[in-house]
Structure 1
Amino acid sequence: MAQLFPFSLTNYTYKPAQLTIGTLQGKESVSRYTLQGPTANLFSINKANQLTIKAEAAGSDKPWYDVVIEGRSASGTKRDTLRVVKDSFIRNQVIAHRGAWKQSATTENSITSLQNAVKLGCMGSEFDVHMSSDSVLFVNHDHAIQGIEIEKTPAAELAKIKLSNGESFPTLESYLKEGMKQTRTKLILEIKTSKVGKERSLALTERIVKMVHQLKAQAWVDYIAFDYDVCKKVKELSPEAAVSYLNGDKTPEQLAGDHLNGFDYHYSILRKNENWMQDASQRKLTTNVWTVNSEADLRWFLDHKVDYITTNEPELLLTMVRQ
């Protein structure tokens, strides 16, 4: 299956000093792209299909614009709406594992833990996604919550669950909508491997990517997964997406060969394979490490110039990167 939606961009953010946003890509070969709708006069498309924002629009206080794109292909005229976001995303190394929950004694993977990560000033907030028996997406780390197996339970039953902090059990839709209220912290979405089987993992992947596109959340979301086929499926469905592999059994050369964007490996893997960090950087892959909590380990990875560190101690790591 090819990408799910008619059009995509190679990038979804802009800055006043970086007016070219990205290159338009079509599900089919497109002879001509045109701009439509109320924001059409704020953008332009050149002969190389690059979308550019005008300086006055980029310099405004608006956090994002919806751009309506129309394209002509052999099968007819297609239309899609893409959200481009003013790039005020934080550029530190700190990714809060399941949100920032430990120091505040709230529930991991909750809306509050996401809000805490944003308030702290983390580059990213990581979270995990499963699918109910009737294909509704929920945010939780384990395959079960309060003894209830998510994959074997319909959404109506799961919706009755309250987290330990009193919140409702969050759906992916509610989590993404909360994350999209700000443009500081990226949403690091882990696609959990199904216990039912490969086919369901891939079905989960398709539903997640479809929802991200339907909500126009591409600028906010990066993907991670332990299943290598899931990582490749995301790239098939959404070629512009940033996708990193978690399992630790692929070299940077293999990741680059399959057009993934980087790795996100357990710290023990990278301790044994220090050269992978430099190798990945030379291949322009991102390097992330999980889950690093001790000050000594955090310092070691900072000294080795890893791009990102996923941690249950974002407050500690933030103090270290700001020194």
Structure 2
Amino acid sequence: MTNSIYAITMAALFTTIGFKSPEMEKPSTWNKNQVIAHRGAWKKKGLPENSIASLNEAIKLGCYGSEFDVHMTSDSVLVVNHDPDFLGLPIATSTYAQLLEKKLSNGEHIPTLEAYLKAGKKQKKTKLILELKPAKVSGERDLQMTRKAVAMVQQLGATAWVDYISFSYAIGEEVLALQPGAKVAYLNGDASLERLKASGFYGADYHFSVYKTGDWFTKSKALGLTLNAWTVNNAEEMNWLLDQDIEFITTNEPERLFELLKTRK
């Protein structure tokens, strides 16, 4: 079989079975800035946190990333909400149907992870920063949630869009086991950069106060790790972090950070 005939035959086969290579799925460019909108860009326009509307606003602003939080209901539906309770209902012990009885202030139902990923995939500029929230039920249930989340990201062809973060080191390690090469950062602030590097993490994502002591910035670059700081809302802290050449800043005030970046050019 000639090379040209082989190529045509394989292309037809891949089309028939619905195959998608990583190159086909991967967007060509992401926004080049340090801005990650915390729970989406919600504050300035009074949008519900972690809503599809706040995600779309972060995309409209041109943020590098939009952070969001994932929990699992008692009937194993993955939903997007910051707190373990949704409008007074404990997510871990409520069914998805029960959560649908209440609505966000803009009329949205609580987003499912599937709906959030599908909305985020409509564009190719803003990353989806998926935080896996450990529950107080059990460590095994946390890992079950993690497996379902990673499987959904993969099934929807969203791996190029999604970076992962968690306060649970075990959850981060589970993501890396399920998806080698995934970008995973740890949130809790109690692990050294050397430990993160050895475990395969992409970087540290710590409260900005952690970086006030120690040589985090020089060491992270030497190790090839990224640093993200949360949750930074005032100009003084933003400027200090930018002076250190930090890679990312998570903020409730993405508009303020963008204005500050303009003045620093």
TM over 0.5: yes
Q: For structure 1, which runs of at least 5 residues remain unmatched after alignment?
A: 1-34, 42-65, 70-80
Partner of 1:300: 240
Partner of 2:79: 138
Partner of 1:48: none
4+ residue runs over 3 A deviation: 35-41, 66-69
Which amino acid letter does the alignment assign opposite residue 315 of structure 1?
E
Partner of 1:51: none
Partner of 2:119: 178
Q: Of Structure 1 and Structure 2, which has the larger fraction of its residues in helix?
A: 2
1:280-312 C-alpha deviation (Å, 9 max, x unpaired): 111111110000001100000000110000000
Q: For structure 2, which runs of at least 5 residues remain unmatched after alignment?
A: 1-8
- Select which of 298, 307, 310 maps to 2:250: 310
The answer to whether 1:248 aligns with 2:248 is no
CA distance in 1, matches of 2:69, 2:235: 25
Partner of 1:287: 227
Partner of 1:320: 260
Q: Of Structure 1 and Structure 2, which has the larger fraction of its residues in strand?
A: 1
Question: Are the structure 2 counterparts of residues 321 and 134 from structure 1 closer, same or farther at C-alpha, using a change threshold of 3 Å?
Answer: same
The answer to whether 1:277 aligns with 2:225 is no
Partner of 1:159: 100
CA distance in 1, matches of 2:112, 2:14: 34
Partner of 1:61: none
CA distance in 1, matches of 2:58, 2:123: 12
TM-score scaled to structure 2, two decimals?
Answer: 0.91
Partner of 1:263: 204
CA distance in 2, matches of 1:222, 1:261: 9
CA distance in 2, matches of 1:217, 1:39: 23
Q: Superposition pairs for residues 1-323 of structure 1, below 5 Å? A: 36-38=10-12, 67-68=19-20, 83-273=24-214, 275-323=215-263
Contact 2:206 2:228 in 1 (8 A): yes
Partner of 2:4: none
TM-score scaled to structure 1, two decimals?
Answer: 0.75
CA distance in 2, matches of 1:172, 1:68: 22
Question: Are the structure 2 counterparts of residues 157 and 37 from structure 1 closer, same or farther at C-alpha, using a change threshold of 3 Å?
Answer: farther
**Larger relative CO (CA 8 A, sep 6+): 1 or 2?**
2
Which amino acid letter does the alignment assign opposite residue 229 of structure 2?
V
CA distance in 1, matches of 2:68, 2:157: 18
1:125-165 C-alpha deviation (Å, 9 max, x unpaired): 00000000010000000000111000001111112321012
Identity of aligned residues (%): 48
Instruction: Give the secondary-structure state (helix, strand or coil) at the position aligned to 2:25.
Output: strand
- Root mean square deviation of aligned Cα: 1.8
More displaced, 163-172 or 310-319? 163-172
What is the Cα deviation at residue 83 of structure 1? 4.6
Contact 2:72 2:145 in 1 (8 A): yes
Which amino acid letter does the alignment assign opposite residue 318 of structure 1?
F
